[in-house]
Structure 1
Amino acid sequence: MSLVAPVTVHKIIGESITESPDLLAVEEPLEIQLGFGPVTDRQQRSVSVTMRTPGHDEELGMGFLFTEGIIQRPSDIVSCRHCVQDSAKEGNVLRVELHPDVVVDWARLERNTFTSSSCGLCGKTTIEAVMALTAGPILSDFTVEPAILHTLPDHVREAQRAFAYTGGIHAAALFDADGKLLLVREDIGRHNALDKLIGAAFWQNWLPLSNYGVFLSGRIGVELVQKSWRAGVSMLAAVGAPSSLAVQMAQEAGMTVAGFVRDNRFNLYSEPSRVRLMQSA
Structure 2
Amino acid sequence: MTNVVRTGVQRLEDGKLSLAEEQLATESLVHISVNGDAITTLLGSPEGVEELAIGHLMTEHGVFFNAISNVHAVENQGVVSVNVDLSSEHALIPRASLVTSSCGACEQTNLPDLIASTPTVVDSPVDVDMDDVLAAVRTMREHQPSFDKTGGVHAAGLFFGTNQPVLVREDIGRHNAVDKVIGAWTQHSSSRPKALLLSGRCGWDIVSKAANAGIPIIASLGAASSLAAKTARLCNMTLLSFVKGGKAVVIGPVDGRFKRKH
TM-score, reference length from structure 1: 0.81
Task: Evaluate the alpha carbon distance shift between residue 122 and residue 81 of structure 1 in structure 2; reply closer, same or farther with a 3 A threshold.
Answer: closer
| Residue matched to 1:224 | 206
Q: Distance in 2 between the 1:117 and 1:275 partners?
A: 34
Matches within 5 A, 1:66-215: 66-74=58-66, 76-83=67-74, 87-88=76-77, 92-99=80-87, 102-106=88-92, 115-117=104-106, 119-123=108-112, 125-131=113-119, 136-178=120-162, 180-204=164-188, 206=190, 208-209=192-193, 212-215=194-197
1:257 has 2:239 as partner? yes
Give the 3-state SS of the residue equivalent to 1:199 in structure 2.
Answer: helix
Shift of 1:239: 0.5
**Residue type of the alignment partner of 2:110:** L
Q: Distance in 2 between the 1:139 and 1:109 partners?
A: 32
**Residue type of the alignment partner of 1:88:** Q
Task: Evaluate the alpha carbon distance shift between residue 278 and residue 207 of structure 1 in structure 2; reply closer, same or farther with a 3 A threshold.
Answer: closer
The answer for unaligned runs of 5 or more in structure 1 is 36-43
The answer for unaligned runs of 5 or more in structure 2 is none
Q: Distance in 2 between the 1:108 and 1:278 partners?
A: 48
1:13 has 2:36 as partner? no
Q: Distance in 1 between the 2:123 and 2:19 partners?
A: 55
Shift of 1:231: 1.0
Give the 3-state SS of the residue equivalent to 2:228 in structure 1.
Answer: helix
Shift of 1:73: 3.0
Counterpart contact for 2:122–2:236, Cα < 8 Å: yes
Q: Distance in 2 between the 1:254 and 1:19 partners?
A: 53
Counterpart contact for 1:137–1:252, Cα < 8 Å: no
Task: Evaluate the alpha carbon distance shift between residue 11 and residue 97 of structure 1 in structure 2; reply closer, same or farther with a 3 A threshold.
Answer: same
Q: Distance in 1 between the 2:154 and 2:104 partners?
A: 19
Give the 3-state SS of the residue equivalent to 1:50 in structure 2.
Answer: strand
Q: Count residues with an aligned counterpart.
A: 256
1:61 has 2:58 as partner? no
Rg: which structure is higher? 1
Give the 3-state SS of the residue equivalent to 1:97 in structure 2.
Answer: strand
Task: Evaluate the alpha carbon distance shift between residue 21 and residue 89 of structure 1 in structure 2; reply closer, same or farther with a 3 A threshold.
Answer: closer
| Residue matched to 1:39 | none
Q: Distance in 2 between the 1:144 and 1:200 partners?
A: 22
Counterpart contact for 2:6–2:21, Cα < 8 Å: yes
Shift of 1:115: 4.8
**Residue type of the alignment partner of 2:227:** L
Task: Evaluate the alpha carbon distance shift between residue 258 and residue 170 of structure 1 in structure 2; reply closer, same or farther with a 3 A threshold.
Answer: same
Which digits, 9 at most, give the CA deviation of each residue in 1:179-203, with x for residues without a partner? 6433110000011111011112234
Counterpart contact for 1:146–1:278, Cα < 8 Å: no
**Aligned-residue RMSD, C-alpha:** 2.7
Which digits, 9 at most, give the CA deviation of each residue in 1:133-173, with x for residues without a partner? xxx43232345444324433432111111111111111111
Q: Distance in 2 between the 1:176 and 1:103 partners?
A: 31
Task: Evaluate the alpha carbon distance shift between residue 142 and residue 187 of structure 1 in structure 2; reply closer, same or farther with a 3 A threshold.
Answer: farther
Give the 3-state SS of the residue equivalent to 1:272 in structure 2.
Answer: coil
Shift of 1:271: 1.4
State the identity as a percent: 28
| Residue matched to 2:219 | 237
| Residue matched to 2:41 | 49
**Residue type of the alignment partner of 2:180:** K
**Residue type of the alignment partner of 2:90:** V
